[in-house]
Structures are given as C-alpha cells and as structure tokens.
Amino acid sequence: MKKIEAVIRKSKFEDVKEALYEAGIEWFSYWDITGLGKSTEEQIIRGQVFQSSYIHRRMISIVVRDINLDKTLDAILNSAWTGETGDGKIFIYDIQDTIRIRTRESGPEALFNKE
C-alpha cells in the first residue's frame, strides 16, 4: 500500500479530480495550503499589481493498493500538468497497514469495497 500526496495548482483541481475518478479512485482528501519561498506569483489588490511570495496550492492525499499506484500517478501527472513552473510535486510513502473500523478488516482488503 502506498500513500500519494500531491501538491497541485488550484486551477487544476477539477481536472485532477475527474482523472482520479476515471482511474477508479473512490475517495481522497484534500486541503488548501499556502507556501512561502523564493518564488513569487502575481497578485492584484485594489489595483496594485505585485509579486507575492505567498503561493496558494491544493494538497491531495490518497492511499492506494500497489497495483493501482501507477495508474493513479499517471492520472495526476497528466491532469495536473501545464508545463509552466509551479505545477507542483508528488510524494509517495509506504503505508504500514490499513484497518477499516466497521469490519476490522486490515491490509489492502480494507482499501476497496468488494461489493
């Protein structure tokens, strides 16, 4: 089992969501993040145009079985890509175990519905 965390553009979220559904991902969580670094983005407030170092992105988090890893990664890579600097990053972690609370099933079994 692998956990995929991806930092993506907010403007690409809808595309990534669609692609994940098509790849068979039934559930994932996401949240808004703000990054602060050397790169900047244009921002406009009350007519002032300036470069802001606060970069707004969206983080999505998915846990998948090993057999689904590649197609999930492909789905994200293809849907989140623009070619411009700032498209984001993907992090992949090993997951030690998963337990479904309702049935106490554990392991990869707990990650999908057999019905």
Partner 1 sequence: MKRNIVLTSLLSLLSVPTLLAQTTTSTAAPTINAGDTAWMIVATAFVLLMTIPGLALFYGGLVRRKNVLNVFMQCFIITAAISIEWVVCGYSLSFGSSTGFLAPYIGGLDWAFLNNIKITDLSPYFISHSQMGLNGVAVGTIPHLVFIMFQCMFAVITPALIIGAFAERINFKGFFVFTILWSLFIYNPVAHWVWSTDGWLFKLGALDFAGGTVVHVNAGVAAIVTAIMLGKRRDYKDHAIPPHNITYVVMGAGLLWVGWFGFNAGSGLAADGLAGNALMVTHIAAATAAITWALLDWFIDKRPTIVGISTGAVAGLVAITPAAGFVGVPGALVIGVIVSLVCFCMVAYVKPKLGYDDSLDAFGVHGIGGMLGAILTGVLASPLIQPAYSGAIYGNYRQLLVQFIAVATTIIYSGIGTFLLFKLTNKLVGIRVTDKQEAIGLDETQHGENAYNNFD
Q: Does residue number 49 form part of the binding site for partner 1 (CB under 8 A)?
A: yes
Task: Indicate the residue among 52 and 82 with the shorter CB distance to partner 1.
Answer: 52
CA 4 to chain centre: 7
- Describe the crossing of helices 69-79 and 13-22 by its angle, rounded to 10 degrees: 150
Task: Indicate the residue among 21 and 50 with the shorter CB distance to partner 1.
Answer: 50
Stretch that binds partner 1, among 15-23, 39-47, 66-74, 93-101 (CB under 8 A): 39-47
The label of the residue with tokens 């969580």 reads: 29
The values of phi and psi at residue 46, to 5°, are: 50, 45
Stretch that binds partner 1, among 49-57, 61-69, 80-88, 100-108 (CB under 8 A): 49-57
Stretch that binds partner 1, among 44-52, 59-67, 77-85, 88-96 (CB under 8 A): 44-52
Q: Does residue number 50 form part of the binding site for partner 1 (CB under 8 A)?
A: yes
Q: Which two tokens stand for residue 30?
A: 């996401």
| Number of residues in the chain | 115
Q: Does residue number 44 form part of the binding site for partner 1 (CB under 8 A)?
A: yes
User: DSSP of 34-61, one letter per residue?
Assistant: EEEEEEEEEEEETTEEEEEEEEEEEEEE
Q: Does residue number 40 form part of the binding site for partner 1 (CB under 8 A)?
A: no
Which positions lie near partner 1, rule CB under 8 A? 43-50, 52, 54
